[in-house]
Amino acid sequence: MVDLVARDVERDAAIRSVRFASGTVIAGEAGVGKTSLAGSVADVLAERGVPVVRVLATAAGRSIPFAALGPLLPVDLRDFQLALVPGMIMRSLADLSARVKPSVRPLLLVDDAQLLDDHSAAALLSVVHQRGARALVTLRLGGRPPDAVTALWKDGLLDRIDLQPLDLDGAGALLRSRLGGEVATVTTRAL
């Protein structure tokens, strides 16, 4: 399980959103802990028996259609048609659910969604819209994500948590947890 410090409120909100709604987008600047928070939420849900699929979008994969969601596509794509991809992904997620815990919608964790190629982003939007999976999506602020990613929260399909940098107390708690002891306030402020 991911060791998370000073993010209890945000973690609880994300867990509620994923359990009782369709999921959430965790947005924030680089380095604020979006991936750690999403990983902690996914770990909690996995412990409760929810099947979890984690995918990572990358800048290198952005030029390749369905690069991030490729692991959810069948190996044999002889009859490949773009319009059928969301259905293929939902079938793959349903098969996973059937193997792990039938009747439970899986969780699809998409890290760095701002880097999704347009095809993957559209497929993700379709899967969420059709309730094929719960979604936990991280999004770095500052760029222009694909329109389909923006639609996830703008159209009310997913909740959104705007993750702020840790305050001084939170930063101190994080440093103490990582260093195993007290850290001077002046050091915490400097870091």
pLDDT tens sequence across 11-29: 999 999 999 999 999 999 9
The predicted-structure confidence for 111-162, as pLDDT tens digits, reads as follows 999 999 999 999 999 999 999 999 999 999 998 999 999 999 999 999 999 9
Please indicate, yes or no, whether the overall pTM of this predicted structure exceeds 0.75. yes
* Structural domains present in the chain: 8-165 (3.40.50.300)
List the one residue out of 131, 168, 141 whose CA is nearest residue 22: 131
Are 157 and 53 within 8 A, CB to CB?
Answer: no
Which of the four pLDDT bands, split at 50, 70 and 90, describes residue 86?
very high
Residue with tokens 């402020």: 189
Are 75 and 96 within 8 A, CB to CB?
Answer: no
What mean pLDDT comes out for the span 43-53? 96
pLDDT for 1 beyond 60: no
Which of the four pLDDT bands, split at 50, 70 and 90, describes residue 175?
low
CB atoms within 10 A of CB 64: 13
List the one residue out of 134, 111, 122, 130 whose CA is nearest residue 51: 134
Please provide the size of the chain in residues. 191
